[in-house]
Amino acid sequence: MTGKYMSGSEYSASLSAALNSYWQALEVRWTKEAGKTLYGGTAAVPAAPEPVRWQVPPDSWRHLTTACKVVAWAMNDGTPENRPNECDGWSVPDARYVECKALDVFRQVGDWAWAKREQLSRAVPDLAAGPELSFLEEAHGTLRSIGVAMRSEGSVGDHALTGAVDRMAIGQNDNANRAWLTGWTGLAANSLKGGFLSTVKPTLVNQAALCDWLASCYSVRGTVIHATRNNILNVIGHLTRELGEVIVTPVDLSKPKLVVSYASQVWTIAQITFEVLKNVGAVGTVLGLVDFALGKSDSVTTEYKYAQMSDFFALVDTSVRTLHSEMDSAEAEYAKAVNAINAAIASVDRTTLELYDITQHSPDGDDSDPNASARFAVDVNVVLQIAQDCYEAAEGYSQLLNKLATTSYSDGQLAGRGLTPIAADQGVIELREDIESFFSTTTTRYLTAADRIKAAAKLYVQNDEAQRERYNKTISEWRKLGLGEFGQRNRIDTDPDKEGVQN
């Protein structure tokens, strides 16, 4: 056990042990109830699902109420290991032998207890076969690390993605260089609003927010499973204890009841995500992340009290229905939040989700923006730095994309009862696929921008000897360091390998 949650095999073993303890305690308790019934002169065993197999003859009642050692065992002990193997049927009051099949009655009671165990096993939410929470936790951790790498405190290997993006977005691009790029791309002459440079930072911020949100989705799904499993064991343990018998297998009552639904926390995170997606300039907004599979303890302690066996079984039914209703409620909130975020994404400008497409415009500009090289004097090294930043960003995104792709290994574990996914689980998978697509497209667009900016810089310096020398010197350094197309480009992958992905 990880300390936070049980593995699938650990839960399955714990469930089996809890059900066995319940069965053993129930058999002892029901046996005692049946013994008291026979001793009282009736075969109407409390809460019996069927009539007893032995219809007691009139001559046998005096034996059962005075001398039957099987009935005496049932009333005073009731444990299968101490059950007598036979009864000779000697009736003291009559001083004769009569028919005694009390053992058959108590074996039948044992069958009823086992049937109730099996009924409870089938009735509780079916989570024994999965999901395997370690897969969801690994995906959660990967997404959190991606979110960190996309903020100022993160880096990808030796390449700081956020540094490259920040240099392009603010800082070192003076008005002349911005104007040159404006004219070159054919955008409005006085700004890059809605264009490439103005989308690099919002794209990064939005994608980081979506990764954080996706991490929280994996956590919420894991928490629903973890808390429900925990509460199943909690319910069975308390029901077993309330039967009030000494049993062979100790009852594990160490698991407090957990709150299954993280609805309020899910919606808080969802609302922050909405704000990030709506406000393009919301730089620096960071989502509060849900820790993986740490359900809160429920302060309400349920008391299991009953007067009759029929009342006890009614309590069992109520407890099982509560387990299902709590899980249903949690999954409904999970689904609402996932659907709301997916709807919000659909309404967001795609250029702030996957970067502005620089290929929309001709390198020669348009009618309102004549050829940039004829209008603006720029430092070609600054232009090449922008190209290099694009290569750096592309490489950073490529590395993150490969990490993101590994979260698909957990697809088969995004599921509920019977390892069957609900619509919200499919929605999370679709969201992850959307984010992968955003990363892949962003990587490609940074590569395209880098190539085109570098090519435009080369054309720009053709008639300027000083600028050409600067250009050649910078390209020589690129070649020496393996930057740009001199090695770096080959390390950039927009289609990561997904061999071994679960179906």
Does one domain contain both 91 and 149? no
Given a cut of 60, whether residue 305 has pLDDT beyond it is no
Tokens of 65: 């109420």
Out of 100, 123, 146, pick the residue that ends a domain.
123
Across 308-319, average pLDDT: 91
User: Could you list the residue range(s) of the whole structural domain that residue 25 is in?
Assistant: 8-123
**Same domain, yes or no: 146 and 71:** no
Q: Is the pLDDT of residue 241 over 50?
A: yes
Same domain assignment for residues 108 and 166? no
Residue 499 belongs to a domain:
no
- Report how many domains make up the chain: 2
For the segment 437-464, the average pLDDT, to the nearest whole number, is: 84
C-beta of residue 294 within 8 angstroms of C-beta of residue 219: no
In a shared domain, residues 139 and 31: no
Both 276 and 328 in one domain: the answer is yes
Banded pLDDT at 51 (limits 50, 70, 90): very high
pLDDT of residue 258: 60
Q: Is residue 55 part of a domain?
A: yes
Choose one of 123, 142, 157: the last residue of a domain: 123
Task: State whether 241 and 281 are in the same domain.
Answer: yes
Average pLDDT over every residue of 136-141: 93
Could you read off the pLDDT of 373-393 as tens digits, one per residue?
Answer: 455 556 777 778 888 889 889
| DSSP result, 70-130 | HHHHHHHT--GGG--S----EETTTTEE----HHHHHHHHHHHHHHHHHHHHHHS---SS-
- Structural domain contains residue 253: yes
pLDDT (0 to 100) of residue 282: 41
pLDDT surpasses 80 at 152 = no
What confidence category does residue 191 fall into, taking pLDDT thresholds of 50, 70 and 90? very low
Say whether pLDDT at 190 is over 50.
Answer: no
Mean pLDDT calculated for residue range 125-139? 92
Give the containing element (helix H, strand E) for 313.
Answer: helix 309-346
Q: Is the pLDDT of residue 479 over 80?
A: no
Q: Which residue has the higher pLDDT, 23 or 359?
A: 23
> Is residue 500 in some structural domain?
no
pLDDT mean across residues, the chain: 78
